Amino acid sequence: MPRLPELSDLCIFEDEHLLFINKPSGISSLEDRNRPGVSVLATVRRQLPEAQLCHRLDKETTGILVVAKHNEAYREMAMLFEARKVSKHYHAVVAGQLSADHMEIKLPLAVGGNGLARVDKREGKQAITYITTLKSYSHYTLLMCEPVTGRLHQIRAHLAAVHFPIAADEAYGGKIPMLSELKKKFKTGKSDTEGGMIKRVALHAHGLSFTAFEKDYSVVAPYPKDFDVLVKLLDRYDSTNA
């Protein structure tokens, strides 16, 4: 169970209007009924009681979240998100080799009774994601994903729908990536069983860009340790030049 974070651990940039934080995996954006008081918003409000979260990320997803410090900032950000004037960039590791340059995935999504998103061309809501290859490996691809709309699990469902599920996203068909599949003569200790190179959905909200309060914002959230380790292992053991 992840520890309760401190705001100082999460903050990557702030000014008089907005606070940008790097959300860890395993912590809900808003109130978690299974763990009262353990959420990003609860952490922020311990120091900023009037703060409001401007958007959210899935519990397992890491990365950038923007928090409004006062009501005027919240109204401004709500209008920007509604008008789709906030540029969102996610990084994802997917299984397979995919060469894409701002490729559009335009598939309507609906939420099923199991709480998962699915492509539904009759009743689904419009959903658009653009994807660009950042690094190609022998068995995996590091992608940049730019969701235009903000549907539940949009990136996860869209990538699964085009047969490139996110690594370790078992809910959408992704498999846990194993180092033994890439590294020659891989061995575990006698009493050990192999864990995955990453054990949660390999998706990270990397950056946000927008203009507000007559100022241009462009903020990046560094990779968390598990995502950084995954990419470094792929660099070392799954390079196409190996």
pTM: 0.92
Higher local confidence (pLDDT), 52 or 4 = 52
pLDDT digits (tens, 9 = 90+) for 24-58: 999 999 876 666 667 899 999 999 999 999 999 99
What pLDDT, on the 0 to 100 scale, is given for residue 186?
72
Higher local confidence (pLDDT), 192 or 125 = 125
As a whole number, the mean pLDDT across the chain is 92
Mean pLDDT, range 180-201, rounded to an integer: 78
Is the predicted pLDDT of residue 19 greater than 90, yes or no?
A: yes
Which of 9, 15, 32, 58 is catalytic? The answer is: 58
Reference 209, options 3, 20, 2, 16; nearest CA is 20
84-208+223-242: CATH topology is Pseudouridine synthase (3.30.2350)
Is the predicted pLDDT of residue 65 greater than 90, yes or no?
A: yes
Strand partners, 117: 111
Instruction: Provide the percentage of residues in the chain whose pLDDT is more than 90.
Output: 81
Is the predicted pLDDT of residue 11 greater than 60, yes or no?
A: yes
Is the predicted pLDDT of residue 190 greater than 60, yes or no?
A: no
Q: Which CATH number is associated with domain 1-83?
A: 3.30.2350.10
Burial of 241 (0-12, 13-18, 19+ CB in 10 A): exposed
What pLDDT, on the 0 to 100 scale, is given for residue 31?
74
What long-range pairs does 18-21 form, CB within 8 A, spacing at least 24?
A: 18/66, 18/67, 18/68, 18/69, 18/73, 18/77, 18/212, 18/217, 19/44, 19/48, 19/51, 19/66, 19/67, 19/69, 20/64, 20/65, 20/66, 20/67, 20/208, 20/219, 20/221, 21/64, 21/65, 21/67
Count other Cβ atoms within 10 Å, centred on residue 166.
25
Is the predicted pLDDT of residue 193 greater than 90, yes or no?
A: no
For the stretch 201-230, what's the b/e string if a residue is b when 16 or more beta carbons lie within 10 angstroms of its beta carbon?
bbbbbbbbebebeeeebebbbebbebbeeb
What pLDDT, on the 0 to 100 scale, is given for residue 185?
73
Check if 1-83 and 84-208+223-242 are the same fold.
Answer: yes
What pLDDT, on the 0 to 100 scale, is given for residue 242?
55
Is the predicted pLDDT of residue 191 greater than 60, yes or no?
A: no
Q: What distance in Å separates the CA atoms of residue 120 and residue 31, rounded to the nearest whole number?
A: 29
Catalytic residue at 120? no
The tokens for 5 are 């974070």
Mean pLDDT, range 107-117, rounded to an integer: 95
Is the predicted pLDDT of residue 2 greater than 60, yes or no?
A: no
| Domain boundaries defined on the chain | 1-83, 84-208+223-242
pLDDT digits (tens, 9 = 90+) for 153-187: 999 999 999 999 999 999 999 999 999 888 877 76
What pLDDT, on the 0 to 100 scale, is given for residue 132?
98
